[in-house]
Amino acid sequence: MIRFRSISRWLLFIAVCTLPFGSFCQSGPATAPGISDSDEIQVGQILAAQFIKEHGLADTPQTKEIEQYLQMVGDKVTAHSKRKLPYRFHLDPDPMFRSAVGLPGGEVFVGGGILAYMDTEDQLAAVLGHEVEHIDLGQCHERLVKILADKHLTRSQFDQLKVGDFTAGYGHDNERAADFEGARLAIAAGYSPNGMVSLLRTFLVLSQQMPDAIEAEKSIQERIELIQPLVHSANQVKERPLTLFREVQ
């Protein structure tokens, strides 16, 4: 997912497409020949190191504690994913990074900017679920295969890949699939089905301050309505308070 620099651009990330739920509920991740899970994991490690270097990330006692929390929530979510990869969850404390990004092989970066808008762990689980599903549904894998083919790169040239090639969105259909399936992962992990909806409602209020307020509000309203069947069919549990993250603002 792209690294957003404004609320308006983040709202574009959460815009919905118009396909019915049943059209994208896949039975398993997409696969492509030639690139194994171990190859993809290696690529993810290379890209994660590149992301850390490019964004000047450095461990501190505070960021380590927050990343432990991210990993704890992420482990609960990925326990229900189809692909059993070594998922790792990282923090980018930049308050202008108001999104999250999933990279091949299970590497996920979460921005301090989006954490600042969360009130519950359930909201975090839904966001992590969304990024995990880009990986679990094979979307990252398919992009990796395409980039390798387009650039005529072999396994020995993985280090020539650029993290920027993996930060663009995956199109409305794939984003919608990741959103819906990500919410299902969070619910399977025992989180409230209202997590994503409550976060969207926060952005609904914020959208009223945007130049394109009418269009943004319409997109978010539609997305809330489309998630409601999943909310109504799941067991209702009490949302859990989010801890640690207010420190990254």
Average pLDDT score over residue span 183-202: 89
pLDDT band at residue 207 using 50, 70 and 90 as cut-offs: confident
Q: How far apart are the first and last CA of the chain?
A: 21
Q: Using one digit for the tens of pLDDT, what is the confidence trace for 15-37?
A: 333 223 332 334 344 434 589 99
Mean pLDDT of 3-9: 38
Residue 220 to residue 190: CA distance in whole angstroms: 25
Q: What is the pLDDT of residues 38-82, one digit of tens each?
A: 999 999 999 999 999 999 999 999 999 999 999 999 999 999 999
Q: Which residues contact 218 (CB under 8 A, 6 or more apart)?
A: none
Q: What percent of the chain has pLDDT over 70?
A: 84
Residue pair 11/203 in contact (Cβ under 8 Å)? The answer is yes
More confident: 245 or 109: 109
Residue 41, classed as helix, strand or coil, is helix
Listed residue (195, 201, 228, 200) closest to 122, CA to CA: 195
pLDDT at 166 over 90: yes
pLDDT digits (tens, 9 = 90+) for 111-148: 999 999 999 999 999 999 999 999 999 999 999 999 99
